Structure 1
Amino acid sequence: MLPGVAGSAQAASADAAAAAGSTGAKGGTSGGAAAPHPAATVFDPIRPPSVPLAVRSPYLSAWLPSSNSAGTWPTFWTGRIMAMTGIAQIDGVPFLFLGSPNIDGQVLRGMAQRSLTTTATRSVFLFEAAGVELTVTFLSPVEPGDLRRQSVPLSYLTADVRSADGAAHDVKLYFDISGEWAHADSGTSIGWAAEQVSGAGGGSLTSLSFSPDGTKTLAENGDMATWGTVVWSATNRSGLTWQIGADTAVRPAALTDGKLAGSVDSRQPRAINDAWPVFAFHFDLGRVRASAQQAVLSVGHVREPAVSYLGTPLPPLWKSYWASWQKMAAFFHGDLTTAATRTAALDRKVRTEATAAGGAKYAALCALALRQAYGATELVSRDGAPWALLKEISSDGNVSSIDVTYPAMPVFAWADPGYLALLLAPMLEYAEHGGWPKEFAEHDLGSSYPNAAGHNDGNEEDMPVEESANMLLMTAAYLKGASASDAKAFATTHYTILKQWADYLVANALDPGFQNQTDDFTGFIGHSANLALKGILALGAMSQVAAAAGNAADRTRYLGVAKDYIGQWVGKAQDTTPDHLKLAYDQPGTWSLKYNGYPDTLLGLGLVPASVAAEEAAWYLTQANPYGIPLDVRHAYTKGDWEMWTAAWLRDHPVSGYLIDSLYEFAHTTPTRVPFTDWYDTVNDKPSGGFQARPVVGGIFALLSVAR
C-alpha cells in the first residue's frame, strides 16, 4: 500500500496496551470472546482515534473504536455495536481477526495484527498467523466528478490471503454481520432474504438483505435510519457458501462443517436480539500458496425515499441510474477493479499534494478526514436534478446546516467544486423559492435529518452575519473552481438572493451586534472581531460573484466597501498592547484564532494586511498548548478544522507547522476512541464535547485548497 509516516513504536505500544483493555467487550451478538493482541501494530501514517470501515453516507457509517480489530466490535458512529465477525481457519485452526464473537464458549486465538494503513479511501489491516498472511481492506470510494458512482451507498470489503512461509496452507474465511446494522433498537423486528444477483460481465453475487419490519419511513432512532435495507453481498466464486440464522448456530457450523448450509432461517420477522440472527458468508479458498486468493464482499444501506424536502419525498440519486439496488450492487461488484485503480490514484493525489502543502503529518490528517467529510453527505434527485444534502452529524442532526457545510468546504473546493455547487443548490433554492421569511440566510434546511422541513415560520437558530457571509464565501469558492461558463450561469441564476445577503452584510458586518455564530457552544457575542472579518471578506467575495455575473458596477461597489471596512476593522480589533487582535472590539486583553482569515487567501482577495497576519501568527505561538492552540482566551479547547483554516491563512509562518503537528499528535494519541472529533482540549488530549464523525473535518484540506 501507499507509504507514509509510520507510527512511533512508543505510540504503538501505548495504543496496544489501551486496546487490550477492550478485548472483553460485550454486547450485540457477543458473549465477549477475548482474543490475544499482538505486541505493537505499525500505524501508517497515523493511528486513527477510530478506524473508518464502511463510511459512505449518514446511515452507512461503521467504525472500529480501537486499533486492533480482533476482540472489538465495529460500531455506528454513535458507539452502538454493529457486529461484524471475521475468522480465518488455517489448516483447521480458527483465528479471529475481526469482532468479538462467543462461539460455544471458546476463546479463539487471534491473528497477529502487523499493521494498519490509512489512506484517503481505505483502511488496510495486515494480519499473520500459522504461516499465512491476510490483508483485509475496507474501501469506501470517494468519486470526485462522477455522480453516478458517488451516489452508490455501498462500501467494499476485500480479503487477500497468501502463504507467508513458502508452504501450502488450507485456508477458509468466515464473515458475518448482525441485524444491528438495520436499526438502533435491538428489540426491533427485522425480516430478511437471500438471492442470487446477476453481475456485470457475466459474473454474479449472492446478496443477503434485511430490513426493519413495519418500517417507519423518513425517521431516525439513535441517529440510525428506521427504514431502508441493509445489503450484504459477496462475489460468487468456488468455495463460497452462505447462511442466515442464529449466531449460536451459524458460527459453530462454519467452523465444524467447513461450510454453510445455504439456508434461510424461517422464523422471521423477529427481534434483532431474539437469537441474534446473523448473515454469514464462508469462503473455502482451498490450498493457498504464494499467489493471493481473494474474497470480495460489500455492505450498504439503501433507502427509498432518501429524504424529504418541504414535505415532498425525494429519491436517492442512484435510482436515476439503476432500477433496483440489486442492479446497483451488481454494477458495484463488477466495478471493483477500476474502482480500486481510481481510488488508489486519489489516495496518491491526496498524499503527494498534501505532503507538498504541509508535510507528512498533514498528509496523514487529510487521509483520515476525506471519507468522514464525504460520508456525512448524500446525493438525491429533485425533479430530475441532482442535489447533495449534508447531515450535521452528532452536534445537532440538522439538514444541510450552512455553518457546518462552511467549515467542511475546503475539501469540496479542492476535490470537486461541482459537488460544492450541489451542496449549495438546496440552500439557495430554499431561500429563493421555499418560503424562508428573513432577509439574511437561513441556518439550515430542517431541524432533523432526513426531513428538510424548512423554517417558514422563521423559528430557527439564527446566525445572521454568520450564515449570510458563509453563503457568499462558499459561492465564490465554487466560482473559483468552475469553468467560466458554469460560473457565469451559477452567479446569474442566484444573483438576486446573494445580493440581498450582501446588502445585509453592508449594514451589519463591520460591527456585528449581539449574535450567535458557528461556535455556538461559546455563546452569543457582540462586536466579534472574527465574525466581522468573515462578513467583510464575504463582501469581497460578492465582488467576485458580481464579476462572474458580468455586473461591473456591483463588483466595484462591494470591493470598495470591503476595503473601507477592513481598514476600520484593523483599528477596532487591535488590542492596546498592541501585539495581537482582540476577541471582540470591546474586550481589551482578549484574543481568538482569526480562522476567518482563510477565505482571504483562498479567494485571493488580499484584503487582510500582511502585517496583521504576521502579528497574529507570532501571538498564537505564545498561546500554544501541548495539543494545539485554544480557540480563544476563554477556554483550553480548540477546533481542529479552524486550526487548519488558520494554518492555511498563515502558511508562510512557523505557527502553521505547529498547528499541523499538534493536531496530528492529538489524533494519533488521544485515548478517546471515537470517530475523529473537531472539538477537543489542547491540554488533556481528549474531546471536549459530543462532536464526532462530523463533516467539518473537511476543513483540514484548507492548506491543500490554497497550495501554490
Structure 2
Amino acid sequence: MSQPFDRLPALPLIVNDPYFSVWCAADRLTDAPTTHWAGERKPLTGTAEIDGKSYRFLGAGKAPAMETESLAVTPTSTRSTLTAAGVAVEIRFTTPLLLDRPDILSMPVTYVDIAARSLDGAAHDVKLRFHMSDALCFEQRSFPEDPDERAATVDPGYPCVSRPAMLADSYRRGALNVAFTGRAHQGVVGHSGDHITIDWGYLYLAGEADVSAAEGGLMGEASGTVSAGQTLCLNLYAAYDDVASINYFGRVTPAWYARGGMTVLDAIDTFHARRGELFAACEALDQELMEKAFARGGEDYRLIVCAAYRHVIGAHKLIADENGDMVFLSKENDSNGCIGTVDVSYPSVPLFLLFNPEFVRGMCRPVLKFASLPVWGYDFAPHDVGRYPHATGQVYGLKTRGYNRRMHGLVYPPIYLYPAGADVFELSKQMPVEESANMLLMLAAASRADGDYSLEQKHMPLLDRWVRYLIEFGEDPGEQLCTDDFAGHLAHNINLSAKAMCGVAAYALIRKGLGDEAGCAEYMAKARAMAESWLRRASAGDYTYLTFEKVGWSMKYNLVWDKLFGLGLLDDAFYEKETKSYLARQNEFGLPLDSRADYTKSDWILWTAAMADDETFRALVKPVARYLRKSDTRVAFSDWYFTSTGRYRAFIGRSVQGGLFMPLLMDKWTKEAKA
C-alpha cells in the first residue's frame, strides 16, 4: 500500500525521545545533512564503496549521491532504496514504539539495517559504512527563542560552542561488538530549554559486524562480494544512554525500562535477542494502522498517520514515579519547552487511547501531583509541571522574580517546594477553563477505554473543584487564554465553552464509573443545560460564531467528545450542518483555525473532520496531506502553519499530532458502542 516515494517536509530516522531524535529535512536521504528536530546538525552518514569507488546513501559528504529509487515511511520505520554502479543499497531505520509494550517502547534503541545486492547479476566488491557523529552527545549552538526569528531561519548555521572534551571506546560484549562515545564532563540533567539538545550521556553503536569508535563518532562497517545470489548486510543498533532522564519533583529518575536496574547494554541485548519478534510486531502494527487509515481516508490519511506516529511518541519520555506507576511526560517542542503541558497532552490522547490508555493516565499523574501541592492554590488545573527535563513545578505564567522563560539552557528553581500563598503565578496568564476541562476529559476517556477509575477515585477532591469551576465560569468564559494562546486572549469563546460543557459531562461519566448514578445524573443534567444555552447563543444558522458576541467563526473541535462519548448533547443535524460549513472556508492547505487569521492547527482539523460524514471528512483531510507533500518549510510535521502558503508558522515535532488519530479512535469507539 505504501507509495514508491513518500514525500514529507522532514523524514524521521531515529525518533526515540525529545533528545534522541534525528531527522532528514529533505525529500531524499542524500539531499541534506541530518539534524535534531530543532535544526541542530546531528550528522549520520552512510557510504557504499563499490568496486573501489565511494557513493553516498545517507547524509551529506563529498562522495557522489546514489540515485534514490524508492522511499517509504511507515508508522515504525523509514526505508529507502538507492542505486549506483550496478548495486542497490537499502537502508531502514526501525524504532519499535509499541504502545502495548512500554518496556520496549522506552528503550532508547533504533534498528539501523543496511543491505547491498547486485542489480546487474555481476559480482561487485562492496564495503558498507555507517557513521554517527559524536555531536549527538552535546549541545552545539544557541537557537532563537523568538518564533518569528525561528521561522525566518529554520536551518541556520548558528555558531558552534567550543567542542567539548570527548571519550570514546569499543569492546566485545557477548555476541555483539559495541562502541560508545560521550562527553568527558557529565552534567547529567544539567540544563533545560526548548531548542536545546542533550549535553550528557553516551551514544552507542552495536552489531555483529565491525563497530569502532572512529574519528568524531562511531562507525559500523561490513565488506564482501555481492552477486546474483549473495547480499551484504550491516545490521546495527543505535542507542543513547541518558544516564538519568527526568528530575521528577526532586527525584532524578531513569527511563521506564531502567527502573529496576536495567542498563542500555541490556536494552541493546534485548533488541538483538528479540529482533525477529520485534520486527514482526512492527510490521503488524504498520499494516494495521495503514490499512485502517486507508479505509478511513484513502492515501491522504494513510500518509498523515505514517508521518505522525513516531513523531508523537518520540516527543515524550516514559518514567516511573515513586510508586512505580507510569509517568509519560511530553516536551512542548518549539513552543517553550514545557514538560507535561496539559493542553499539549489533551490533543495527543487519541493515539494513546487507541492502544494503551495507561499512557494517558501517565500524562495526568504529574499534573494531579503538582495540583495537590500547597504552592498551587487555585480551583482550576495547572498548565504544566515544569520545563523539560525538569518536572519541578509549573513555569508557564510564572512571575519573573529574576527568571523568565527565555532562560535558554538554565534551570528554573524548584517551584514545587514553594509554600501556599507564595504568589508565584500571574493569574491572567493561566488557562483555567481550558486545563480543567482537559484534565476531566482525559481522565474520563482513559477510563472509558479500559474501565479503570482508580486514579479518579484517588483524586476526587481535585476533580470536584475543577468541575465546580467549569460550571461557574465555563458556560460563557470571560477573557482568558485557551490552548490556542498564540492568537491571544478571547472573551466569550464559543469553542472554549463547548469544551467546558463536555468537561462537565466527562465528570458525570467519572461519577457513573465510580458507581454514583445520582451524581452522574446531576452533572449530566448540568451539561445538557449548558449545551442548550450554548446552541441558542452560538448558532448563526448554518454555522456557529467565534464568540458569543456573534462575530466570526471557528472550528468547534472540542465538540468531538459529544460524538466520541455518545453523549447526545447536540443532534446529528447540527454536526452535519456545522462540518459542511467549513468546506467553503478552506484554503489550499487546510481549514483555518478561525476567522481571525489564515493559519491552522492540523490536529484540530482532524478532530473536526472526525465529526463529519465520509465525503466531508475526506475533503477536510486532503489539504493536510497536501501540506505534507508540498510544504517548503523543512521541519518535522508542524501543527501550526499557514493554509494559504503551507509554510510553517511555529511548532515543530510536537506531541499534539496524536490528535491526527482521532478519526480512527472515533471509528473504534463507535463500533464498540454498537456491538
Q: TM-score, normalization: structure 2?
A: 0.88
User: Equivalent of 2:660, from 700, 704, 707?
Assistant: 700
1:633 aligns with 2:586: no
* 2:641–2:650 contact (8 Å) kept in structure 1: no
**Separation in 1 of the partners of 2:355 and 2:190?**
30
User: Equivalent of 2:76, from 118, 121, 133?
Assistant: 121
What is residue 670 of structure 1 aligned with on the other side?
631
Deviations 1:42-83 (A, max 9, x none): 41xx31110001011010111001012224210001111111
* 2:189–2:389 contact (8 Å) kept in structure 1: no
- Going from structure 1 to structure 2, the CA distance change for 1:468 and 1:63 (only over 3 Å counts) comes to same
User: Equivalent of 2:645, from 677, 680, 684?
Assistant: 684
**Separation in 2 of the partners of 1:241 and 1:703?**
44
1:196 aligns with 2:171: yes
What is residue 130 of structure 2 aligned with on the other side?
175
* 1:307–1:452 contact (8 Å) kept in structure 2: no
- Going from structure 1 to structure 2, the CA distance change for 1:222 and 1:527 (only over 3 Å counts) comes to closer
Letter in 1 for 2:293: A
Deviations 1:517-570 (A, max 9, x none): 000011011111000000001111111111111111210111000111100100
1:590-605 map, 5 Å = 590-605=552-567
Q: Secondary structure at the match of 2:502?
A: helix
| Unmatched 5+ stretches in structure 1 | 7-41, 102-106, 246-276
**Separation in 1 of the partners of 2:650 and 2:493?**
25
- Going from structure 1 to structure 2, the CA distance change for 1:653 and 1:705 (only over 3 Å counts) comes to same
- Going from structure 1 to structure 2, the CA distance change for 1:221 and 1:296 (only over 3 Å counts) comes to farther
User: Equivalent of 2:214, from 244, 252, 255?
Assistant: 244
What is residue 182 of structure 2 aligned with on the other side?
210
What is residue 23 of structure 2 aligned with on the other side?
63
What is residue 547 of structure 2 aligned with on the other side?
584
1:545 aligns with 2:510: yes
Letter in 1 for 2:524: L
* 1:216–1:226 contact (8 Å) kept in structure 2: no
1:206-605 map, 5 Å = 206-211=178-183, 213-215=185-187, 217-220=189-192, 223-237=195-209, 240=210, 242-245=212-215, 277-383=216-322, 384-433=324-373, 435-454=375-394, 457-459=423-425, 461-482=429-450, 484=451, 487-575=452-540, 578-588=541-551, 590-605=552-567
Q: Secondary structure at the match of 1:443?
A: coil
- Going from structure 1 to structure 2, the CA distance change for 1:232 and 1:498 (only over 3 Å counts) comes to same
**Separation in 2 of the partners of 1:71 and 1:48?**
13
1:76-115 map, 5 Å = 76-101=36-61, 107-115=62-70
**Separation in 1 of the partners of 2:504 and 2:282?**
38
Deviation of the 1:317 alpha carbon: 1.6
What's the RMSD between the two structures over aligned residues?
1.9
| Aligned length in residues | 619
Letter in 2 for 1:581: T
Deviations 1:171-215 (A, max 9, x none): 11111122211122242414222233534xxx2232222236252
- Going from structure 1 to structure 2, the CA distance change for 1:95 and 1:499 (only over 3 Å counts) comes to same
What is residue 34 of structure 2 aligned with on the other side?
74
Deviation of the 1:503 alpha carbon: 1.3
Letter in 2 for 1:552: E
**Separation in 1 of the partners of 2:116 and 2:374?**
54
What is residue 616 of structure 2 aligned with on the other side?
655
Q: Secondary structure at the match of 2:610?
A: helix
Deviation of the 1:156 alpha carbon: 1.5
Deviations 1:101-138 (A, max 9, x none): 2xxxxx42221110110100111011111221111001
Q: TM-score, normalization: structure 1?
A: 0.84
Q: Secondary structure at the match of 2:222?
A: strand
- Going from structure 1 to structure 2, the CA distance change for 1:593 and 1:523 (only over 3 Å counts) comes to same
Letter in 2 for 1:307: I
**Separation in 1 of the partners of 2:317 and 2:353?**
17
**Separation in 2 of the partners of 1:368 and 1:197?**
37
What is residue 619 of structure 1 aligned with on the other side?
581
Q: Secondary structure at the match of 2:507?
A: helix
**Separation in 1 of the partners of 2:287 and 2:545?**
41
**Separation in 1 of the partners of 2:253 and 2:63?**
47
Q: Secondary structure at the match of 1:159?
A: strand
Deviation of the 1:294 alpha carbon: 1.8
**Separation in 2 of the partners of 1:550 and 1:641?**
34
Deviation of the 1:323 alpha carbon: 3.5
Deviations 1:389-428 (A, max 9, x none): 1111111100100000011111111122121121212112
**Separation in 2 of the partners of 1:544 and 1:212?**
54
Deviation of the 1:321 alpha carbon: 4.5
* 2:467–2:507 contact (8 Å) kept in structure 1: yes
**Separation in 1 of the partners of 2:433 and 2:200?**
38
* 1:97–1:127 contact (8 Å) kept in structure 2: yes
**Separation in 2 of the partners of 1:205 and 1:453?**
42
**Separation in 2 of the partners of 1:350 and 1:175?**
30
Letter in 2 for 1:99: G
* 2:188–2:244 contact (8 Å) kept in structure 1: no
**Separation in 2 of the partners of 1:511 and 1:316?**
42
**Separation in 1 of the partners of 2:193 and 2:524?**
48
**Separation in 1 of the partners of 2:374 and 2:76?**
36
- Going from structure 1 to structure 2, the CA distance change for 1:173 and 1:158 (only over 3 Å counts) comes to same
**Separation in 2 of the partners of 1:330 and 1:288?**
32
**Separation in 2 of the partners of 1:116 and 1:506?**
52
Deviation of the 1:666 alpha carbon: 0.8
What is residue 94 of structure 2 aligned with on the other side?
139
1:148 aligns with 2:113: no
Q: Secondary structure at the match of 1:110?
A: coil
Deviation of the 1:303 alpha carbon: 1.8
Work out the percentage of aligned pairs sharing the same amino acid.
Answer: 29
* 1:509–1:536 contact (8 Å) kept in structure 2: yes
Q: Secondary structure at the match of 1:399?
A: coil
- Going from structure 1 to structure 2, the CA distance change for 1:291 and 1:545 (only over 3 Å counts) comes to farther
**Separation in 1 of the partners of 2:366 and 2:391?**
13
**Separation in 2 of the partners of 1:420 and 1:197?**
40
Letter in 2 for 1:586: E
**Separation in 2 of the partners of 1:125 and 1:322?**
37
* 2:139–2:199 contact (8 Å) kept in structure 1: no
Q: Secondary structure at the match of 2:122?
A: coil
* 1:218–1:451 contact (8 Å) kept in structure 2: no
* 1:132–1:161 contact (8 Å) kept in structure 2: yes
